[in-house]
Amino acid sequence: MEPETTPITAAGYQKIEQEIERLKSTKPTAIKRLAEAAALGDRSENAEYSESKRALGQLKGRIQFLTKQLQYSEVVTPRDDSKIEIGKTVTIQFLDDNEAETFEIVGKPEADVDANKISLVSPIGSALLGANVGDTVTVTAPAFSYQVKITDVTLS
Reported as a single tens digit per residue, the pLDDT across 42-53 is 777 778 888 999
How high is the pLDDT of residue 2? 66
Q: 42: buried, middle or exposed (CB in 10 Å: 19+, 13-18, 0-12)?
A: exposed
CA 83 centroid distance within chain:
22
- Beta carbons of 130 and 84 less than 8 angstroms apart: yes
pTM for the model stands at 0.84
**What pLDDT score was predicted for residue 44?**
73
Domains of the chain: 6-75 (1.10.287.180), 88-155 (3.10.50.30)
- Residue range 128-152: average pLDDT? 95
pLDDT tens, residue by residue, 16-67: 999 999 999 999 999 999 998 888 877 777 788 889 999 999 999 999 999 9
pLDDT of residue 47: 86
Is residue 77 packed enough to be buried (19+ CB in 10 Å), middle (13-18) or exposed (0-12)?
exposed
The mean predicted confidence, pLDDT, of the chain is 93
Contact of 33 with 52, CB cutoff 8 Å: yes
For residues 78 and 21, give the distance between their C-alpha atoms in angstroms, rounded to a whole number.
27
